[in-house]
Every structure is written in C-alpha cells, then in structure tokens.
Chains A and B, each alone.
Chain A
C-alpha cells in the first residue's frame, strides 16, 4: 500500500522510563494492550503485509488493518480501520504510526494518526480524546506496573458527526 498521500492529522508524543523493546512489546502484545487500551486486545502478525486486529473485551472485531512498516523496536506503521459499516467507504483508511526513539535513559514514543483526505475536527475528536488516555495509561503500566483506571465517556462529538454522514455506530 502506498502511504505517500497520507497526511498527519493528530500527533501525540510521550516520554517513558522504559527500554525501546519494552515499549514495542506493550504496543504489539495483547496481554499488555488489554491492560492499557480499554481492555482491547491487539493481535498482530509482525511482518509487512501481516494482519493487525484489535478485539474488544468480549472478543468482537473492533479494528482491522495491515502492517505497512515493521522495524522492531523503532517503527511500526499499520492501517487502523474501525469496523463500523460504511466508515472506511466514507472516511477512507486510517494510518497509525508509532515511532520509538531513545532519549537518554527514557524513550520518546510518537504516535501519528494520518488520513488520505481532509477530515473535520469533529471526526478527528474521537482519536484526539482516546490517544492521550491510552498512551498515558501505557506509560503508567510500564513505569509503575499498573495501568490507569480511565472510564472514558463515549466520544459524543465524533459519534454525532458520523451519524450526520450516515455512518452507523454501535
């Protein structure tokens, strides 16, 4: 898949007292992701073209995608498509890239969410609400052994915008 025409819409950077390998594991292993990603399990076939899947706590398919770049423990790029009817047809695919760089004894993790077309701030607000919570909890998990307990409200602004576009949401 050619990703040259994707443009960054949301960038979140966080520094973590951990090794690049530990951060890589936390991003790619379901036993970690269940703890910090609202109970969701990440399943990934770690090779370019491999499948990327996120399942909700009850096992349902929530996000599906494909591995675009895989350079452990430095860079992982995946397509990240929420499994709601007509979402990908109307909004296009979502690309998520994680970059892991050493910064002294810590690690800088940069998440970039990109799209192949301009999307409104209303549509983007869902990701902008979710990423800081997910990545704050990932940092706490790696530094303290315990994730954060974040009871997030549904992203109402995004859901309303999707509904207006005729995209059905759960």
Chain B
C-alpha cells in the first residue's frame, strides 16, 4: 500500500504576494478557513498553530520552510483526542506565477497508513482552498457549513 498523500492544485487570479499574505495572515485566514486564525512568526523551527474564535488551539505543529512568496511548509496535527495517536504530517505550499494567475500546489504527506487525520484533511483542504480562491477573486469567501464536509462519513 502506498503511504497516504494529498495533492491539490488550483489556479487563482491574484499575485504571489497577495496569495502569500492570504496564507500567512491570521486576520485574513479567519475569513475563509472555517474561522481559524493561523498563528506563527513564520520562522523555520517556530511553532505553528490554528486558533479557533474562542482562543483555543485546534491544530499545532512547526514551520519547516518559509520562502516568501514561493514556498511555505509546516507540520500540524489536530489536538483532539480522536487523533491522539497521530503525528504531525507536512503540508507544503508552492506558489508559481502562471501568466496573470498563480498556480498553487499543496502537497500534504507523511501520514501513517490508515491515518484518520488524513481522511479529515482530504475533505477539508478542497473546501478551504476553494474559499481562498473565492475571497481572492471576488472579495467574498464561501459560506460552507462545517457539517457539509461530512467528516464522519
């Protein structure tokens, strides 16, 4: 069995600098990322956290790569009991200018076989990155109810 790996590519009408800001500014991520504020000083080795609106941390890991506005990589795993046996997998974002667009490639890898967290991120990323594309192109994020992700099915 190959190790689980999630790859997602999308094309966004924006600049690499605006996309970089959208991926790293907590005030901005809160608007399109199911309310999550990303918190980090974006230095390699520093902590990386996803913070809920009530201030609690949902996911945590470390910054692995930070080369604005080209490459960003961090590890994280959800902090709930459901995933207590899982270790942080590596999410790498590559931003490439593509004519008047930016090609964004996310690769999320390093999961154990049968990882439940992998099932969760596979459903979460398309929604988050679709909402990211919408907010950059139209000014409005998508309003996707968390329940619509069907994380438990």
Contact = CB atoms under 8 A, between A and B. Distances in A.
Interface of A: 12-17, 102-106, 108, 132-133, 136-137, 139-140, 143-144, 148-151
A150 B126 contact: no
B11 A144 contact: no
Contacts, number: 70
B137 A143 contact: yes
A132 B137 contact: no
- Which 8 residue pairs spanning A and B have beta carbons closest together? A15-B130, A103-B148, A132-B9, A13-B126, A136-B11, A104-B145, A106-B142, A105-B143
A13 B124 CA distance: 10
19 contacts: A15-B130, A15-B144, A16-B130, A17-B140, A17-B142, A102-B148, A103-B149, A104-B148, A105-B142, A132-B11, A133-B9, A136-B10, A137-B11, A144-B137, A148-B101, A149-B100, A150-B11, A150-B98, A150-B101
Interface in B127-153: 127, 130-131, 133-134, 137-138, 140, 142-145, 148-149
Contacts of B126: 12-15, 108
Looking at chain A's contact residues, the main secondary structure is mixed
Looking at chain B's contact residues, the main secondary structure is mixed
Interface residues of B, number: 25
Max chain A Cβ within 10 angstroms of own Cβ: one of B130, B142, B149 = B130
Interface of B: 8-13, 98-101, 126-127, 130-131, 133-134, 137-138, 140, 142-145, 148-149
Given A103-B145, A106-B144, A17 B134 contact: yes
Given A103-B148, A104-B143, A104-B145, A133 B11 contact: yes
A150 B10 contact: no
A102 B10 CA distance: 21
A148 B101 CA distance: 8
